Each structure stands twice: as C-alpha cells, then as structure tokens.
C-alpha cells in the first residue's frame, strides 16, 4: 500500500526504503519459495536481506547513525564481511527456526 | 531573461530497436508486422558521438532530471556505458528497462556504479513455461530471476513489470509474491495494450473485461498484504471498471502534452509523444525540443478523443484510454482503443450519460 516512503517515478510508484517488517516478510516468503527456486539465488537474496537487517540493527544501536546512513547510501559501508552461513543463521533466527 | 525550457518529469530514450526476445505482447512500434499495417517506421540508430550529441541537446533544451533507457533490449547497445556516464555527469538519474537476459552480475555492478537508480524487468508469471512463452524466448524466466537476484544482492532497486494477458492473468498473485520476496520496490501491472507485434496476437492475448476486473481485485489485496505499491499505468476507463474501488492501486491516464508526459526519443532522434505511438513530431537533431512539442505540433495527438467519449464528464482526464493503441490497431488516434471498443456495450452510466 503506498505510504510516505513511496516515490513516484515516471509512471510508477516505488518504495524508496524497505522497512524492517518488509525484510522479515521477504525472508519468510523466500523460505516458502526456496523449494521451487534456484538455491544459488535464494542464498544471494538471503544475504542481501540479512545485510539490510544488520544495517537496521546497527543504526538502532549506534550513536553515529547519520554517518552510517550516509556510508550505506553511498555504498561505502562494508557489511558484506559475514559468511553465507552467518546470513542463513540470521534469517533462520528471525524466522524462529533452529 | 525568462527560461522557457519545458519541464519534463521524464524522457524516454529508445537506445536500440534490436532485441534478443520476441515477446508476444511487444508494443515496439517498429515491429508491426501485419499486412494491413505494413511496417514503415524508420529503422536504425545513430553512432555514439551523434547519440551523445542528441542526448546533450535534449537535456540542454529541457528541464529534465530523469531519463528512462529502453529498447528493443537496452543492453544490446554497446555504448550504453558512455550513455550512462553522460547522464551521470549531467546529474540526471536513469532507469534501465531490460528483459534481464544480459543483466549478469558484472553488468549490474557496472550499471549501479554508473548511476542507474532503478531497473524495470518483466516478471510475467511464477511459471517458467508461461514467462518463456510470452517472452518468445526459452530461458527468459531463469534469466530474469537471476538478474533481479543480482540487483538485490548489490542493493540496487528494481520494479517488476507484469503485462496482463489472457494467458497469465491467473498467475498475478503468485507473481507479486515472488517479486516481493526478491525485493521488488513496486509492481507495474499493465493490462496488455496491443501495438507492434502484440497487434498480431490480439485474439490470443487480449483479456476480457471481467478478467481484468478480477485481476485488479487480486492486485489490490496483494498491495495491502505485501505493503507494496502497484501502479496501473495503461489507462483503464472508469466507465468500464470503477477504479476508485481499488484504494491500494494507483492508476494513470494519458499524460501526453502535460508535464506528466513521457516524450520518447527513438535511436535516430525522432521524438514522439509517448513510447506507444507511431506519431513522429519531428527530429531533435533538426529542430528544437520546444518547437517539437509546441501545442500546435501536439494538437493532433492531445485533442484526439473518441466520439463515444464526448458526453462523458471524465472525457478530458480519461481521453478514452490509450489513443496510441487506437492509432496502431485502427489507424486513427481518435478511434476507440481496443479495450474500449471491445467492451463499449458494457460502459456504465452516469459517466457517459451525464451530459446527454
């Protein structure tokens, strides 16, 4: 549903930002779809979601929030140091699975 | 001295007429193939220096902060990096419309580095065979999913485009689900709007009014479920479907001639009122942008409305739907476009009866 994070672009609307809730819902759907889709793609998507969630966690805790946000938006923030297993673990934790 | 340059929300540049897919629904006007509508649209493309000169001229002569690059298949254009660099240097944001087949990981990274803010890719079904069939290309489904996964992995943004035909409308909900799971920032839900090659597949692809209506209900519910914007940019006439009932969807009417217009430059520099029409306003290398879009030049396009719509109080907004589709299918901008023509007996009052 369009809201205040929505921006019109040409003839369409886009969500410029994804919310924490969006990411959780995406992770849950991916889990549901994982049997039908290429596991390599699922892995990539899970990593991306995990990084975005990690980013949310970081800006919720850190005092230098604006600096982090700027670094993230310019691509300077290196979150991708975690392994695939770590990303999976994070997604599974979010989903409440072992 | 007053700056009289026109303000454009967006400009579309058709980078190339070549394509590696053969989508059944394709509206590219140079693909008209039927005997009754022989293809006479100019073919070819400018060399790199002249293309850059053309784009610089377009940006010099307008206030335009966003350019959408399309085709054909945009990524078949070898000098695309130079085009993107030009836009980036001029502080113009860019969108790439692509079928995704050539959008491998290095190309995604390179495009993002060159300032591409958004990708638009087709996702026509959750079923491989349906997507591939409509794309006219085996492997299209796997390729587009890989492309959007790469975009997501590198934290780029994309929207998934669903062209609603008789063959895939039942797949809409599952498609939205996959698009959302893959991180789509929005959905474009476009009812099939015949033109180009699509004109040849009208009977097989054109959905009924009830099928479109049902799909809108599905899209409306999905927009709420997934909290994702869904835009229906191909006009839907309110006399045929009460679009106000779908509060989670956004609808658009023809914006030609207004600030909402998406003027379209073809690879030879010909300017058109939109990407669906065959009407050429003139060539930007030969005339100024302002002259090309002057009210006098645009009048045959902007003033064309079907007689059927004259009594309607929404005539000036709705304009009868997509006049470019009327032009391509029935040879006149003021003809009733197919969605109206085929459903006109179901048009509801009071919208068409108030002024009678």
Helix (H) / strand (E) element for B272: namely: strand B270-272
Identify whether the C-beta of residue B25 lies closer than 8 Å to the C-beta of residue B134. yes
- Give B201-230 pLDDT, tens digit per residue: 999 999 999 999 999 999 999 999 999 999
Of B77, B76, B67, B80, the residue nearest B111 (C-alpha): B80
- From A9, A26, A48, residue closest to B180, measured CB to CB: A26
Give the list of residues 6+ apart from residue B217 with CB closer than 8 angstroms, or none: B246
- Give B236-261 pLDDT, tens digit per residue: 999 999 999 999 999 989 988 888 89
- Show residues of chain A in contact with B150, CB under 8 Å: 44
Alpha-carbon distance of B62 to B284, in angstroms, equals 12
- Give B306-317 pLDDT, tens digit per residue: 999 998 989 999
Reported pTM: 0.90
Query: CB B102: neighbour CB atoms within 10 A?
Result: 14
| Grouped pLDDT means (10 residues each) for chain A, 98 residues | 45 82 91 89 90 75 65 60 52 57
pLDDT at residue B206 in the model: 97
Identify whether the C-beta of residue B157 lies closer than 8 Å to the C-beta of residue B151. yes
Chain position carrying tokens 């599974």:
A92
For residue A80, give Cα distances in angstroms to A72, A92, B314. Answer: 12, 18, 53
Chain centroid to CA B223 = 21
CB distance A41–B95 less than 8 Å? no
3-state SS, residue B182 = coil
- Show residues of chain B in contact with A37, CB under 8 Å: 145
Shortest CA distance from A77: residue in chain B: B155
3-state SS, residue B27 = coil
pLDDT band for B37, please (50, 70, 90 cuts). Answer: low
pLDDT at residue B265 in the model: 98
- Show residues of chain A in contact with B152, CB under 8 Å: 44-45, 48
CB distance A12–B186 less than 8 Å? yes
- Show residues of chain A in contact with B188, CB under 8 Å: 11-12
- Give B156-177 pLDDT, tens digit per residue: 999 999 999 999 999 999 999 9
């Amino acid at each position: 549903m369009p809201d205040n994070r929505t921006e019109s672009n040409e003839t369409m609307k886009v969500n410029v930002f994804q919310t924490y809730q969006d990411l959780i819902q995406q992770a849950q759907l991916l889990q549901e779809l994982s049997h039908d889709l290429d596991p390599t793609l699922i892995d990539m998507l899970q990593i991306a979601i995990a990084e975005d969630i990690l980013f949310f966690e970081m800006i919720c805790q850190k005092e230098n929030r604006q600096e982090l946000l700027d670094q993230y938006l310019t691509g300077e923030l290196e979150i991708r140091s975690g392994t695939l297993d770590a990303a999976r673990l994070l997604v599974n934790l979010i989903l409440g699975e072992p | 001295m007053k700056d009289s340059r026109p303000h454009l929300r967006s400009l579309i540049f058709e980078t190339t007429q070549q394509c590696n897919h053969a989508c059944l629904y394709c509206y590219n006007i140079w693909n008209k193939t039927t005997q009754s509508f022989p293809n006479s649209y100019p073919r070819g493309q400018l060399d790199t220096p002249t293309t850059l000169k053309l784009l610089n001229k377009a940006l010099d002569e307008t206030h335009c902060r966003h350019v959408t690059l399309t085709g054909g298949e945009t990524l078949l254009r070898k000098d695309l990096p130079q085009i993107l660099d030009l836009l980036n240097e001029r502080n113009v944001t860019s969108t790439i419309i692509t079928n995704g087949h050539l959008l491998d990981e290095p190309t995604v990274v390179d495009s993002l580095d060159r300032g591409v803010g958004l990708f638009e890719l087709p996702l026509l079904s959750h079923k491989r065979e349906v997507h591939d069939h409509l794309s006219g290309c085996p492997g299209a489904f796997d390729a587009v999913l890989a492309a959007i996964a790469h975009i997501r992995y590198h934290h780029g943004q994309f929207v998934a485009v669903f062209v609603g035909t008789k063959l895939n409308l039942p797949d809409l909900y599952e498609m939205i689900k996959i698009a959302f799971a893959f991180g789509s920032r929005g959905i474009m839900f476009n009812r099939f709007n015949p033109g180009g090659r699509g004109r040849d597949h009208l009977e097989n692809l054109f959905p009924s009014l009830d099928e479109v209506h049902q799909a809108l209900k599905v899209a409306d519910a999905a927009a709420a479920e997934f909290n994702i914007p869904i835009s229906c940019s191909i006009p839907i006439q309110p006399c045929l479907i009460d679009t106000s009932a779908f509060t989670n969807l956004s609808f658009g009417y023809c914006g030609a001639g207004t600030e909402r217009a998406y003027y379209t430059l073809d690879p030879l520099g010909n300017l058109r009122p939109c990407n669906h029409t065959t009407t050429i306003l003139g060539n930007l290398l030969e005339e100024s942008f302002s002259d090309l879009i002057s009210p006098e030049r645009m009048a045959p396009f902007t003033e064309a409305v079907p007689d059927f719509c004259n009594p309607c109080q929404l005539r000036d907004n709705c304009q009868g739907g997509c006049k470019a589709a009327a032009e391509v299918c029935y040879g006149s901008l003021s003809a009733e476009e197919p969605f109206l023509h085929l459903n006109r007996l179901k048009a509801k009052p009071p919208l068409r009866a108030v002024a009678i």
